[in-house]
Structure formats: C-alpha cells, structure tokens
Amino acid sequence: MPEEAWAVSVAARAACLALTIGFLEQLTVFRRAYGPDGPFSAAVAGVFARPGHRVLARDGVARGVLVVGAVTGAVGLVVGPLSVVGWAAGLLCVLAALAIKARRVTAGDGAEQISVLVLLAVSLALAPVAGEPALDVVALFIGAVSVLSYVTAGLAKAVSRTWRSGAAIAIIMGSTAYGRPGVAALLDRRPALGVLLARATVAFECAFPLVLLAPLPVTLAFLAAGLGFHLGTAATMGLNTFVWAFVGTYPAVLVLARATSPFW
C-alpha cells in the first residue's frame, strides 16, 4: 500500500474511532445531557434554531443519530475508507456527527472538529474512485490541517495571560470538568512544575510547524512528544478522543513533511 493510502486509511480509521467514542459517551449520559434539564435539551436547541432542529429536538431522533453514528463509526474503523463499505460508513459517521452537533449547538472539542474535517475530506476525495491522485491530495490536506490545529492552539494560548504566566495547568487541574485532585495538589506543592508544563505546552504547539522543515529525526521527535502530550492529557483531563483523532493524523503529517522539508 502506498504511503499516502496508508496515511489516509489511518487518519480515517482514527477519526471514526474518536467519533464513535464520543457517540457512545453521549449515549451513556443521554437522559442527563439531552433531557429537559440538560445542556443539550430540546429547549436549548430551539433557542438557536439551527437547520433541522425541530426534527433533532425529538429525543428518539437524537438517540437514533447517536446509535447510527456509533455503528457506522465502528464499521469505518474496522473496514477502512479504501473500500466502498468503509467509505460509506465513514460518510454516515461524519453526517451523524454533524447532525448531533446541530442538536447540541454549544458543545464540541478539537478532537471532534478534526475528526469531522478528516472524514469529510476523505469522503469527498474518494467519492468517485479511490485513485492515487485523490489519495495524494487528501493525505497532504490532513497533514496540513493537523499542523494548523497545533499552531492555532499554541497561538491562542500564547496571547492568553493565564497561559503565559504559567498558571493555566494548575487552574485546569483544579477545575471540576477536567481536573484531577491529586495532580492539583501536586502542582500546589510544586508551582514551578505547573509553570514549566504550561509554557512547554505553548512552546510545543507554536513550534509544531517545524516538523515540515526539520530533518526526519527532529520531525519524529516532535511527533513522539505529541503522542506523549496527548497521552498525558488523556490520563489527567480525560481527553481520550484526542489521542486517536490527532495522533491518527501523524502519518499524513509525515507525508506532508516529506514534500516540504529540504532535509529529507
């Protein structure tokens, strides 16, 4: 299998896995999240009046969308996008993600966003025929989206006084949504560690575009650091889908780096 085809396959399968995990997580808390008092209730969806919200406001429809998304995502993960069945499954999975987003309106994260972009690109590029030219283009696109995602996140943090001061990690670890009491206590005892982690995160994300210009060993070191970063956030913040969604794009980043770096 050509490198581009392998990179596209890995990215699409990883995106399907990330979205499937998200669908299943939403199904487990459906009554609490989508019920009358939940943040994704029909009343909240009606305030924003997104297209199709009247249909999606029905809990049975929203639950059905989540089930379809989880099933098709699992099929896309197992089969891959290079077959008709896998391509169709990926397309249905991303359509389910877009539909349930119209109901949720206010929630989402970077893992979901990049997974949707990956599957939309793969669905469009492979729709007529799964030829190598289309695979070349979509592999480069996925790599570029991945690099842009990191640098955008880094620049957003760089302009934040909380991140620049180094206090952000300690604040996050002390929060209800993403915090870990043990880690928060550690950072309270060792504030310099929190400052180091916060500034290292900003530096890593802002410097990520260097993967496109650096020699192969440096590029691989950046990607290894990225893997460690996402494993760390999964363990401490519960951002488990980020590991699959972002690390799944790394083969495509390598395809892009091969085309842009003068040192390869």
The rounded distance, in Å, linking the Cα atoms of 75 and 29 is: 23
Q: How far is CA 107 from the centre of its chain?
A: 13
Note the pTM of the prediction, 2 decimals: 0.93
Contact assessment for residue 255 and residue 1, using Cβ atoms and an 8 Å cutoff: no
The per-residue pLDDT for range 4-17, each reduced to its tens digit, is: 999 999 999 999 99
Confidence label for 55 from pLDDT (cuts 50, 70 and 90)? confident
Closest CA to 9 of 89, 70, 76, 92: 76
Give the length of the chain: 264
Q: Tell me the per-residue pLDDT of 169-185, one tens digit each, with 9 for 90 and over.
A: 999 999 887 888 999 99
Please give the structure tokens belonging to residue 51.
């297209």
| pLDDT value, residue 49 | 60
**What is the pLDDT confidence band of residue 56, given thresholds at 50, 70 and 90?**
confident
Task: Give alpha helix (H) positions in 209-249.
Answer: 216-237, 240-247
Q: Write down the pLDDT at residue 132.
A: 59
Chain CA centroid to CA 23, Å: 13
What is the spatial distance between Cα 155 and Cα 166, in angstroms, rounded to a whole number?
15
DSSP 40-71: T-HHHHHHHT-TTHHHHTSHHHHHHHHHHHHH
